[in-house]
Structure 1
Amino acid sequence: MRRVLVVLTGGTIAGAMRDGKDTAPDTGASERLERLLEEFFDDRGLQVATAVPWGVPGLDSSDLNPQHWIRLTRIIIEELQKGDLQGIIVLHGTDTMAFTAAWLSLVLEGIPLPVVLTGSQLTLDYTPEDVQVNLRGAAQVVCAGYPGVWVYFNWKLIPGKRAHKARAIHPDAFTAVNGLPVFFSPEWGREAPKILLPELHWRPPQHLQNLLRKKETAETISTLARQLRWYLCMPGCAPHFTGEEKALVLLGFGAGNAPSEILQALVSRFENEPMKPMVIACSQAEGDTKNPQAYKGVGIASLAKKGFFVWGQGDASLEFVHALLWYAFLAAPDSPASILGHYLKGYAPGNP
């Protein structure tokens, strides 16, 4: 009998209302989720193996960080090595689900079986609830054998690297950034699909193997959190650069532009520093491919002429850029560009 790994991390899907006012992870809700999945997969001849990486009932996803991502990755790799998995379901809070999905898309690139993240905006004790729609949909995806990392939500299957939470409370929470979701109709879910058995000829990439050999501590994550910084460009506001930055994401406008005074302030702050931070040029405009050298004077790629190595967001989601930044500096701290360059376009120092 093949197994399905179900990872319970917490979130609203494992939550319940408290005093009719707010929602928090709940032990009873987690147990109900396990029973629902066990019944579903038992009818299809699949055995459920449950993992609870941070205990029952888990955590609100707002509190998850890269240290939790690494722990989750270790659990998945260990289970994959047993060789009898049909697929993986990660039950997760919606607030940071897209970030975890982006991370898993990086570390599990090329995986030959389904890894499906799902959750809910409403709890099981709410009427109507969206828990069972998403839970059973994710389970159907696993049975159908669609390989890769996905987010399943509200009848839509979205590639993990393109998922973005666009609505705060509405059950149709996620959109696909610069891509299209796969829509599943109710008829698709009426009958149990034929179980497709994935071929498990997959090995973790060398960068990931190097990362998992290390013992990343909260102190390591805390140090990197001060060195990998995001700055939001807003009219009339200027960020403060500490000088500790190893990588700096400028979240600008349009094609990847920023106020010229911010670019000048960055050049001035690091003018005499022996090592300048890498700059990731991103945009608040969600759609299309970004081109941070398209506009003279305000294009963030112009920093390359001032000695900075600049990377462009391209058509990636902001969640993917964030996960990629952490992966590059955790897995290859001496050569993060070797990972960044695999996914993003670079503008080398001195490049006009």
Structure 2
Amino acid sequence: MGRLLVVFTGGTIASGFDGQGKAPVSGASRRLKDSLAELFAERGVEAVFREPLGSPGIDSSEMDPGHWLLISRCIAAELERGLSGVLILHGTDTMASTAAWMSLCFGSLPIPVVLTGSQLTLDYMPEDVTSNLRGAAMACCSDLRGVWVYFNWKLIPGDRAHKTHAMHPDAFNAVNGQPLFFNPDWGLDPSPAAFRTAAAGQLPEETRRMIGLDPDVLRERCAAIRWFFAQPGARFEWQGDERFLCLLGYGAGNMIPSVLDGIERRNGTTPYVIACSQAEGGVKHPEGYDRVGMARLAKAGFRVWNQMDRSVEFVHSLCCYALAASFDAPEKALNRYLRECRP
């Protein structure tokens, strides 16, 4: 028999109308638990339900790195007894960021870790709760491995997910990647699934080390990650406490020249710079332009990393992970996924 962890965090999938609008409610969570318990029992799976953020959970707009750490700690604790899969029920607004974090922490495990949610609550007709919940549950009983977002009959790699629709059920796409399209025959197979099992000893050393970190300490560290969004006429001013400066510029990795001028005037310790683009597609090339290319900061003494073809959500989660796993040398994590620009 497989043993599968179901993590409730809140979000629209566990919400109802509270008189003022949608919000997580305990009644919705109970209905989801009953439905999943029956579904997994039919597949010969022991379902373990946990609520590391409390009941009924939070709106995903409230999600922060401290919450990611609590969820990770919950998963690591259950891995002590072995798991054949993990299902995380989550709000859509920050699901891609959480999926990126989970990919960094648990992506190497030989089991599926699947995040799902919904754009509509069960109060709507039609709704997308049922199809996403059952599809994600079946994916957890499959021979997949790694971290995925399941939505609207698609499995999207967790390190590539990006929310593209505000309300439409087809909410996510894969940034510079391809989704897997769910096979409905998986749900028709009455035979018990053949499960792999993952244990705590299979966690990466970095993940094991940071599990014991105080969530508030991680929140404080990640508060020093600053994003600057380039738009015509925007101006930049230093706040003084930046550890990471993530620049969301244009095209291949370009930035307003006056903004680069202002960054170069920094006195004292220089933060790590991540050169990102509002253009999602393709590999970025911040060295491609002289005056406006963000790689110019490397010549001014900054350490600059290229976003490559990663999503913005992945970049932010990677910065948080780097500060959690190796606070004194976060470049160790950056160098595994991004490319540093040469001076």
Q: TM-score, normalised by structure 2?
A: 0.96
Distance 1:130 1:139 in 2: 14
Letter of the 2:131 counterpart: V
Counterpart in the other structure of 2:76: 77
Look up the SS of the partner of 2:273 in the other structure. strand
Residue-pair matches, total: 342
User: Does the aligned pair in 1 maintain the 2:253–2:285 contact within 8 Å?
Assistant: yes
Counterpart in the other structure of 2:284: 290
1:10-159 correspondence to structure 2 within 5 Å: 10-19=10-19, 22-83=21-82, 85-159=83-157
Look up the SS of the partner of 2:69 in the other structure. helix
1:163-182 correspondence to structure 2 within 5 Å: 163-182=161-180
Distance 1:238 1:298, change over 3 A: same
Among 223, 227, 231, the residue aligned to 2:220: 223
Q: Which has the higher contact order (CA 8 A, sep 6+)?
A: 2
Counterpart in the other structure of 2:254: 257
Distance 1:186 1:205 in 2: 33
1:171 deviation in Å?
A: 0.4
Look up the SS of the partner of 1:135 in the other structure. helix
Letter of the 2:242 counterpart: E
1:157-306 correspondence to structure 2 within 5 Å: 157-192=155-190, 195-200=193-198, 203-217=202-216, 220-268=217-265, 270=266, 272-273=267-268, 275-306=269-300
Distance 1:144 1:225 in 2: 35
1:58 deviation in Å?
A: 0.7
Question: What is the alpha-carbon root mean square deviation over aligned residues?
Answer: 1.5
1:65 deviation in Å?
A: 0.2
Q: Deviations over 1:158-183 (max 9, x none)?
A: 00000000001000000000011011
Letter of the 1:255 counterpart: A
Structure 2 unaligned spans of 5+ = none
Among 325, 328, 332, the residue aligned to 1:334: 328
Identity %: 49
Distance 1:193 1:146, change over 3 A: farther
1:25 deviation in Å?
A: 0.5
Q: TM-score, normalised by structure 1?
A: 0.94
Structure 1 unaligned spans of 5+ = none
Bigger shift: residues 183-192 or 44-53? 183-192
Distance 2:132 2:277 in 1: 31
Distance 1:226 1:125, change over 3 A: closer
Distance 1:309 1:76 in 2: 34
1:214 deviation in Å?
A: 2.7
Letter of the 1:26 counterpart: V
Q: Deviations over 1:65-110 (max 9, x none)?
A: 0000000001101111212x22110000000000000000001131
Look up the SS of the partner of 2:84 in the other structure. strand
Distance 1:206 1:321, change over 3 A: same
User: Does the aligned pair in 1 maintain the 2:53–2:70 contact within 8 Å?
Assistant: no
Distance 1:42 1:189 in 2: 13
